[in-house]
Amino acid sequence: MFIDGEWVDARSGKTFDVTNPATGELLGSAPAGEPEDAVAAIDAAYASFPDWANTTAYERSRLLYSAWQLMTERSEMLAQLMTAEQGKPLKAARAEVNYAADFLIWFAEEAKRVNGEWLPSQRPDQRFLSVKAPVGVVAAITPWNYPISMLTRKMGPALAAGCTLVLKPAESTPLCAKATFEVFVDAGIPEGVINLVTAVEPAPIGDVFTADPRVAKLTFTGSTAVGRVLASKSAANLQRISVELGGHAPFIVFPDADPVHAAKGAAALKFLNAGQACISPNRLYVPASLRSTFEETLCSRVEKIETGNGAVEGVGVGPLVSDTAVAKVERQVEDARDKGAGVPVGGTRLTQGDYAAGHFFAPTVLTDVTEDMTIYREETFGPVAPVISYDDPDQVIELANDTNYGLAAYVYTRDIGVAMRAFERLRFGIIGVNDVNPTSASVPFGGMGDSGLGREGGHEGINEYLETKTGGFAI
């Protein structure tokens, strides 16, 4: 762990193993931090906050630029580590490292764009000045599915704003977190400004984060269930909170769309990171008139996807994070099959040969999916594409909105009017129109409803870490 400028073991001396989800190979170990370690990290962040908050925006910007440069130079090493620890194909890991670095350079620039303003008064002898100030100590909890970019998406704006932080990474990917922190250490981050607590039991660390009054803000990316628990506990201390949670994204193909183009987009997006992405499409709505061509194209693409160890050239889908994750996907597919769904491609857990020691599920297409199936209502987080046929394009937006989630949605159409009306009516925070990658460090990321609170990235991203301070001056 990294606490107050030093690499340290857990005070208990305990550790936990880190393994490759594709092979079961032991990659190393990490300290099994406990509440006392989290408290020590908060001590360090709290003590260093005044000095860090008083640095100039240009100093903070220079440090983030340096971190960006180092991450770029180490991109191949970081990508290979990610593939070994998290499982995603090396090509996808390289893309994630670049995405992670983008947040550093974006917020290096945003650090210098935090502005105040003079405000008018009714009195001629009074002036008002409104400025932005860092909120204080930030506690961050990050997920395993994007084990580097989800760190920089929080660390970048927090540091740019002048906050100090304590971060707990997912127990599945502590080595990626350590390597990311090494980038900041080598960039010259002052002691105590960033702190890393690894743990095999996350709940006790979360309890410390939400109970300590010195923690001004909690930021979390993960499941909706855990996000609800953390948000409710944070409320007791009136902590500021931003949570990026689950999704259940609709992918709508309108009758005027090119079904081949849409199917290719769906195949590319759905199986990215083995479907383990909160913006992954989970309900593919296709008009009956285009269904045959769409399904034929989709199946032909999915049949060609190679599943295996992400370090092997040509592999398009790696392992899932755990056996529990595989079991969840398997349950959803079997439930759909039992209720009448077709399974033209995949549909099985992979356990033979090279798959025996890993957590693999075959890339799968389900057809004839209906509302009574579990997969229609619940997020899958796996490599399964459920196709739902519809007849009335006027009702498909209503079907798509029929969920408590509101993170991402996708629309395929060649009509700008259809696209604009869909964009306006869909209750989701991120909408891709003929676009399967509607994300960037320069744009806000976040959802509605059970998909979370707040935004990360873009101009809004740094505001999550700033307070507004107003001064009235009698002259």
Mean pLDDT of 303-315: 97
- Record: fold of 249-440: Aldehyde Dehydrogenase; Chain A, domain 2 (3.40.309)
Answer yes or no: are the C-beta atoms of 233 and 211 closer than 8 Å: yes
Which pLDDT does position 5 carry in this prediction?
98
Which pLDDT does position 100 carry in this prediction?
98
Q: Which residues partner with 201 through β-bridges?
A: none
∠ at Cα 400 (398, 406), nearest 5°?
Answer: 115
Does domain 2-245+451-474 sit in CATH 3.40.50.300? no
DSSP run (H or E) holding 206: helix 202-211
All structural domains of the chain with their residue ranges = 2-245+451-474, 249-440
State pLDDT tens for residues 135-176.
Answer: 999 999 999 999 999 999 999 999 999 999 999 999 999 999
Catalytic residue status for 176: no
Share of the chain above pLDDT 90, in %: 100
Q: How far apart are CA 89 and CA 111, in angstroms?
A: 33
Task: Identify the active-site residue in 244, 379, 456, 464.
Answer: 244
Tell me the helices (H) and strands (E) count for the chain, helix number first: 15, 24
Q: What's the mean pLDDT when you consider all of the chain?
A: 97
Mean pLDDT of 202-211: 97
User: Looking at this protein, which amino acid is placed at residue 473?
Assistant: F
Catalytic residue status for 296: no
Which pLDDT does position 363 carry in this prediction?
98
Residue 127: pLDDT band with limits 50, 70, 90:
very high
Q: DSSP states of 322-350 as a string?
A: -HHHHHHHHHHHHHHHHTT-EEEE--SEE
Q: Which residue is listed with tokens 């909408």?
A: 431
Strand ranges (E), 120-260: 126-134, 137-141, 164-168, 194-196, 215-221, 240-244, 249-253
Which pLDDT does position 142 carry in this prediction?
98
Task: Identify the active-site residue in 278, 295, 456, 464.
Answer: 278
Which pLDDT does position 102 carry in this prediction?
98
Which pLDDT does position 257 carry in this prediction?
98
Burial code (b: 16+ CB inside 10 Å, e: under 16) for 30-45 equals bbbbbbebbbbbbbbb
Q: Pick from 96, 91, 89, 74: which is nearest to 142 by CA?
A: 96
Which pLDDT does position 289 carry in this prediction?
97
State pLDDT tens for residues 81-98.
Answer: 999 999 999 999 999 999
Residue 64: pLDDT band with limits 50, 70, 90:
very high
Burial code (b: 16+ CB inside 10 Å, e: under 16) for 350-372 equals beeeebeebbbbbbbbbbbbeee
Rg, the chain, Cα only = 23
